[in-house]
Chain A
Amino acid sequence: MASKTINILVKIWRQNGPLAQGAFEEHALKDISTDMSFLEMIDVLNEWLTRKGLEPIAFDHDCREGICGMCGAVVNGIAHGPDKETTLCQLHMRRFKDGDTIIIEPFRSQGFPIIKDLIVDRTALDRIIAAGGYVSVNTGSPQDGNTILIPQHVAEQAMDAAACIGCGACAAACPNGTPMLFLGAKVSQLALLPQGKLEAKKRVINMVMQMDKDGFGNCTNERECENVCPKGITIRNIARLNREFMKASFTIDH
Chain B
Amino acid sequence: MSWFIQTFKSSLGKKYIMAITGFLLGSFLVVHAIGNSTIFWGREAFNSYAHHLHSLGIFVTFFEIGLYTIFFLHVITAIYLFFENRKARGGKYEMQTNAGGRTWGSRTMPYTGVVIFLFIMIHMANFHFVEKTEVVTISDFVTKVLTNPAYTLLYLIGLSMLLLHLSHGFWSLLQTLGISHPKYDEPLRVVAWAVAAIMGAIYILITLLMVISRTQLL
Q: Interface of A with B (CB < 8 Å)?
A: 11, 13, 24, 74, 76-79, 103, 105, 108-112, 173, 175-178, 208-209, 211-212, 215-228, 234-236, 238-243, 245-246, 249-250, 252
Assuming the A-B contacts A108-B90, A175-B102, A242-B178, are A236 and B185 also in contact, with contact meaning beta carbons closer than 8 angstroms in the complex?
yes
Give a binary string over B79-111; 1 marks a CB under 8 Å from any A CB, 0 the rest. 001001101111111111111111000110100
29 contacts between A and B (CB under 8 A): A74-B93, A76-B97, A78-B99, A105-B93, A105-B95, A108-B90, A109-B90, A110-B88, A175-B85, A175-B102, A176-B85, A217-B11, A217-B87, A218-B11, A218-B88, A219-B15, A220-B85, A221-B172, A223-B101, A228-B99, A236-B185, A239-B175, A239-B180, A242-B175, A243-B178, A245-B12, A246-B16, A249-B13, A252-B3
Which residue of the partner chain, among A74, A208, A224, A239, contacts B10 with CB atoms under 8 Å? Answer: A208
Contact B94 A103 (CB under 8 A): yes
Give a binary string over B56-95; 1 marks a CB under 8 Å from any A CB, 0 the rest. 0000000000000000000000000100110111111111
Using A109-B89, A216-B88, A235-B180 as known contacts, list a sample of 12 further A-B pairs with CB atoms less than 8 Å apart, ordered by residue number in A.
A77-B93, A108-B90, A111-B88, A173-B99, A175-B89, A177-B88, A223-B106, A228-B99, A236-B182, A236-B185, A245-B10, A249-B7
Residues in A neighbouring B106, C-beta threshold 8 A: 220-223
Complex Cα spacing A228 to B101, Å: 9
Q: Interface of B with A (CB < 8 Å)?
A: 3, 6-7, 10-16, 81, 84-85, 87-102, 106-107, 109, 168, 171-172, 175-182, 185
Contact B172 A109 (CB under 8 A): no
Complex Cα spacing A234 to B182, Å: 10
Contact A246 B178 (CB under 8 A): yes
Residues in A neighbouring B11, C-beta threshold 8 A: 178, 208, 211-212, 216-219
Contact A222 B102 (CB under 8 A): yes
**How close is A75's CB to chain B, nearest CB, in angstroms?**
9
**How close is B39's CB to chain A, nearest CB, in angstroms?**
35
Which residue of the partner chain, among A24, A103, A221, contacts B176 with CB atoms under 8 Å? Answer: A221
Which residue of the partner chain, among A78, A208, A225, A228, contacts B12 with CB atoms under 8 Å? Answer: A208
Contact B84 A227 (CB under 8 A): no
Most chain B CB within a 10 A radius of its CB, from A24, A173, A209, A215: A173
Assuming the A-B contacts A175-B85, A218-B81, are A242 and B90 also in contact, with contact meaning beta carbons closer than 8 angstroms in the complex?
no
Complex Cα spacing A229 to B168, Å: 22
Residues in A neighbouring B10, C-beta threshold 8 A: 208-209, 212, 245
**How close is A100's CB to chain B, nearest CB, in angstroms?**
13
Residues in B neighbouring A78, C-beta threshold 8 A: 97, 99
Contact A217 B99 (CB under 8 A): no
Assuming the A-B contacts A224-B101, A245-B12, are A76 and B85 also in contact, with contact meaning beta carbons closer than 8 angstroms in the complex?
no
**How close is B165's CB to chain A, nearest CB, in angstroms?**
12
Chain B, residue nearest A241 (CB): B12
Chain B, residue nearest A219 (CB): B15
Assuming the A-B contacts A227-B101, A252-B3, are A110 and B87 also in contact, with contact meaning beta carbons closer than 8 angstroms in the complex?
yes
